[in-house]
Amino acid sequence: MPCFGSRKKNKRKNVPIETAAVSSPSVEKPQQQQPALSQQQQPITTNRPPSISSSIVQIRQEHKDLKSKQTEHLDVIARQSAELEELRTLVSNKKTEADLDLQEKERKLEQREKEIEQLMKKIQAKEQQQDEEQLQFEEQLKEKDKQLDEMKTKWKQEAEVKPALQQVTDQLDDLKKANDEAMGRLAEKEKELAKLQSQLNRRDRSPKDSDKDQERQKRLNRLTMDLESDKIMIQKLEELNQQLEAQKKKHEATLQTHAEEIAEKDRALVQHQQSLSELKAAQDRAIKNLERKQTETINELQLKHEQDTKSMRERLDNAERRAKSDMNSEVEKLLHEFEQSEHAHSVQMASLQKSHQKEMSAMKQGQKAELQNHIKRASMVLLEKNSEPINLRKTSSSTPKVMRWPVAAMKHQEVELIPRDPSHVQIYVSSVSANPTVKRNQESLQTMLTAKQIKFQVVDVAQSEPALQHMRRQNVGNTRNLPQVFVGGEYRGPFDDVMRAMETDTLNDFLRPRENNNNNKLSLATKKLPRKGSQPSSGSLSSNEPITPTTSSSPAVPPVFAKQQQRQNSTLHDEDADLLKEIEKELAQSDFSKVDLNF
């Protein structure tokens, strides 16, 4: 005989804490089942005694109290989720401020580098101008050297003319001496002629001998001819002397003119050499001053840049330390409150189960006694005609709690971790990552592949434990940042490798399947992962919707203490990021609508 009015008792020790976003189905489900239960038990409750009816009413009242407490817990969880969101917003804002400061410093540094480049260009222009001026001075110096060579050539020619002039002067002196001698002889002959004339005059007065007179006349004629020839020679010598004097004056004037020109050119050359030496000295001083100023400016800029970089890094480190310390304290506080609420809830559920078991055992005994009395009063035929068969659930309390999922959530899609197509591209992302760089890289990678018209599939490792384990196996124990690209189920590289392939135009080679592993991939057993949602269309591979698989063989929420121990032993990940990931994962994967709260 079935036990009328018996209720199923559920264990509440391992009931997971769920999010407030899915609390509506948990409230609607008992409300939908209560009318059906009341309709099934309506023919019986009319014949039950007041004690059993009051017990059922009491149990229903306790059920309502439990639902109200459940609503309170959901409100607490929603408040804690809001606080976590505020903490993440605060951390992201601090990181954004640090990034803005860093960008401002980089902008100032780029501006200073541009100023240095402009200064270097000005210095190079000045050096080029000075080189051009120096070339001009060198050309002028070469011209002066040519003029000096010409003057030296003229001076040599004049030096060669001087011996001829000296020779002419010597000849003139010789002619002067010969003229003097001729004049002396002429004077002597004139004296002798005067004596002879006086003698002739005296002889004219005195008687003369004819022979002696003839000899004397011949002698006189000879002397007269000699005198005439000497006069002619003297005239020629005077003419030669005048010519030599004119040539001498002309040569002396030419020499004087050349000497003045040479002296003037020597003075100009000395002045030019002095000005050139002064210009070179001034140029050397200007270059040294410019180099010294440039070195001082570069040193000052480098020192200032180092100081700014050091101060910026110190500020960034301080901001990160403050953010980490604040976040650690808040997360630890929230975790402590979360564990306390879970512990209190489990203790409360255990006490309620014990009280329900006691009440159910007492109710069973009363129902058995009432049933025996009822059988004695009525026959089995009347009981079968007047009462409808009621199928009640088993009351065994030793069976483990089974999660009941709604029908709409049982539509799954199978996703292959190792696809049959070796060229199938998969992007492993995390939807619960609080790192803005990871989020930005995930969005940039998906946008870039979509722009390149490359079909890809997005796999969310935060909602898929098999996908996370597959990614770790492919990474060979090394921790790499998300997002990661897989081709044919094989790890190909992180975001930086994809960007490097884009810059070098080798993206097609990067996403090309490896021929060596194609046969092995086809022979492996395909690992399929269920996902919540409807059947996708043919173009869903290139969409940006993440795959959200669920697991039915294990509970969605692991124990909090196991997660805490795993977080403490992890040395490959950042503790704060892992803690936030675990809390978000527990809150995101929980669903109160999947828990059967009927008794």
Pairing, β 425-429 against β 456-460? parallel
The whole-number pLDDT of residue 160 equals: 74
Which position has the token pair 């209190």? 344
Contacts with 484 (C-beta within 8 Å, 6 or more apart), sequence order: 427, 428, 471, 475, 491, 492, 493, 494, 495
* Domains contained in the chain, number: 2
87 and 32, same domain (yes or no): yes
Write out the residue range of the structural domain in which residue 90 sits: 20-96+327-386
Which CATH number do you get for residue 445?
3.40.30.10
Which position has the token pair 């700014």? 308
Which position has the token pair 């017990």? 55
The answer to whether residues 130 and 348 touch, using CB atoms and an 8 Å cutoff, is no
The whole-number pLDDT of residue 227 equals: 78
Concatenating the DSSP letter of every residue in 328-397 gives: HHHHHHHHHHHHHHHHHHHHHHHHHHHHHHHHHHHHHHHHHHHHHHHHHHS-HHHHHHHS----PPP--S
Q: Could you say which of 336, 368, 386 is where a domain stops?
A: 386
The whole-number pLDDT of residue 383 equals: 46
Concatenating the DSSP letter of every residue in 61-86 gives: HHHHHHHHHHHHHHHHHHHHHHHHHH
Cα dist from 58 to 2, 55, 162, 557, whole Å: 22, 5, 153, 32
For residue 371, which phi and psi values (nearest 5 degrees)?
-70, -40
428 and 538, same domain (yes or no): yes
The whole-number pLDDT of residue 86 equals: 87
Instruction: Tell me the per-residue pLDDT of 232-288, one tens digit each, with 9 for 90 and over.
Output: 888 888 888 888 888 888 888 888 888 888 888 888 888 888 888 888 888 888 888
d(CA 577, CA 395): 44
Whether residue 91 lies inside any domain: the answer is: yes
Whether residue 400 lies inside any domain: the answer is: no
Whether residue 382 lies inside any domain: the answer is: yes
Whether residue 13 lies inside any domain: the answer is: no
Cis-peptide into 483, omega within 30 deg:
yes
Pairing, β 484-487 against β 425-429? antiparallel
Whether residue 472 lies inside any domain: the answer is: yes
End-to-end alpha carbon distance in the chain: 20
Whether residue 133 lies inside any domain: the answer is: no
Instruction: Tell me the per-residue pLDDT of 509-534, one tens digit each, with 9 for 90 and over.
Output: 888 887 644 444 444 433 333 343 33
The whole-number pLDDT of residue 6 equals: 45
351 and 419, same domain (yes or no): no
Whether residue 312 lies inside any domain: the answer is: no
Question: Can you tell me whether residue 490 is helix, strand or coil?
Answer: strand
362 and 461, same domain (yes or no): no
Ranges of the chain with pLDDT below 70: 1-51, 161-162, 164, 200, 202-210, 374-415, 476-480, 515-580, 583, 586-599
341 and 456, same domain (yes or no): no
The whole-number pLDDT of residue 194 equals: 78
The whole-number pLDDT of residue 47 equals: 53
437 and 490, same domain (yes or no): yes
381 and 417, same domain (yes or no): no
The whole-number pLDDT of residue 515 equals: 62
Please give the structure tokens belonging to residue 72.
């309170």
434 and 507, same domain (yes or no): yes
The whole-number pLDDT of residue 533 equals: 36
The whole-number pLDDT of residue 505 equals: 84
Whether residue 466 lies inside any domain: the answer is: yes
Instruction: Tell me the per-residue pLDDT of 133-150, one tens digit each, with 9 for 90 and over.
Output: 888 888 888 888 888 888
425 and 352, same domain (yes or no): no
Question: Can you tell me whether residue 406 is helix, strand or coil?
Answer: coil
Please give the structure tokens belonging to residue 474.
């492919």
CB-based burial label for 197 (10 Å; 0-12, 13-18, 19+): exposed
The whole-number pLDDT of residue 206 equals: 53
361 and 460, same domain (yes or no): no
The answer to whether residues 530 and 414 touch, using CB atoms and an 8 Å cutoff, is yes
436 and 486, same domain (yes or no): yes
Using a CB cutoff of 8 Å and minimum separation of 24, what contacts does 241-250 make?
Answer: 241/172, 241/175, 241/176, 241/179, 244/168, 244/169, 244/171, 244/172, 244/175, 245/172, 247/165, 247/168, 248/165, 248/168, 248/169, 248/172
d(CA 491, CA 485): 6
For residue 416, which phi and psi values (nearest 5 degrees)?
-90, 125
465 and 510, same domain (yes or no): yes
